[in-house]
Amino acid sequence: MAMNGVLRPGYCQLRVMDMDEALRFYTGVLGLKLVERDASGRAYLKCLDEQDHSSVILRPADRAGMDCYAFKVFDTATLDRLESDLKDYGVATERVAAGELPETGERVRFQAPTGHVFELYAQRTRVGSAFGTHNPEAIIANRQGISPIRLDHWQIHGGDLDGSRDLFTQVLGFSIVERILMEDGQTDMAVWMSCSNKAHDIAFVRDERDDTLHHLSFQLETWEQVLHAADLMTVHRVPIDIGPLRHGITRGTTIYAFDPSGNRFETFCGGYDFYPDMEPITWSWEEMGRGVFYHTRELNERFLTVVT
């Protein structure tokens, strides 16, 4: 599949309430690499197989949650085109100068109907992955912590799901991969969408609480690594929401847990390959529990109520 528009999730800026504690967790337990810290107190981290500067930015704050979600696009011409397309669609945009965020080129910032702030960018300094690009090894010995290979996706909540869904499909070129319908059998309760051939790059869930984060997800390579992540979470007393288990939706394997500030994160593996000519998979309201948690076939209370 030719990918010449929005490529993938690039980075996100996460609010944490104790930076020292957050860094101990994200580097020591989750196993991300600290790339740098800036004068404002933000910390920039990356996953094992990511080549660009960073994928997770931690910002000290007095409440948890996410400031923004950024997607990398193919090139500067694509960035210009998408900015124009957003404006034509009626979306207000802001052009952010190169260098305002360290090691990052110009960005186009906009707000989705669910209240979330998104950024598009084409250029970011490439610092290289842990594997390298010249005669690399297939493994990294003595990997630190859970050690995900990349930031994989986000699930976010807000009221105008229809508006955000349509914006992403009609302007940004995303495809609907799976959906859950509400009790009326017509209205979307949740949609999983892809800009690539992954099972999903972002999910929107209908919720009266605008601009909220359900989870950010990190990809692991095998089910065995998901189980190892569960062991490490227990050793380090990380609060686990649910798992290890399988999703019906996307067929991925998962653990949901919470960082020290209460932000939910996921360690995720698997899922099928998606292509734009595939028909979206639909789940009915009655089968939502099995769709989300295939093994238990029901949703726990935290999964429905806890967002940041």
- Residues involved in catalysis: 153, 200, 215, 247, 256, 266
Cα 287-293-296 angle, rounded to 5 deg: 90
Tokens, residue 188 = 């979307």
C-alpha span between 251 and 245 (Å, rounded): 10
